[in-house]
Amino acid sequence: MHRKYQWFLPRGRALPSEIQIVTGETRDAAIELLARFFREEAFATPLSRIAENFDRMLADPFCWSALAADGETAQGIITVPTVLFVEWGRLGEIGEPR
């Protein structure tokens, strides 16, 4: 038996977004969004540490991050860091700061 799925349409006005993998060109916008999220959530991590750790993620081929952009403006970010465990292997964790 095949199920028919309906598309979900949000109520109100939805802005079109484009998903872009974070690159060197969009790095600063990504860090700005991450810093804003951590400030809003009352983390004490300084901007320099956020940037340093994010740069490590960008250099790690097992991590991934992307921006949701509305035209020229980055509106959201998602990060997928990974951890290598002896018992489970490499696992990813999806984090979606606003």
CATH number for position 88? 3.40.630.30
Identify the residue with better confidence: 73 or 34: 34
Confidence of residue 8 (pLDDT cuts 50, 70, 90): very low
Residue 6 counted as domain residue: no
| Domains contained in the chain, number | 1
Residue 49 counted as domain residue: yes
Residue 54 counted as domain residue: yes
User: What's the domain range around 36?
Assistant: 18-92
pTM of the prediction?
A: 0.74
| Residue 22, pLDDT above cutoff 80 | yes
| Residue 9, pLDDT above cutoff 60 | no
Q: How far, CA to CA in Å, does 76 sit from each of 2, 11, 16, 18, 66?
A: 35, 20, 13, 10, 8
Residue 2 counted as domain residue: no
Residue 22 counted as domain residue: yes
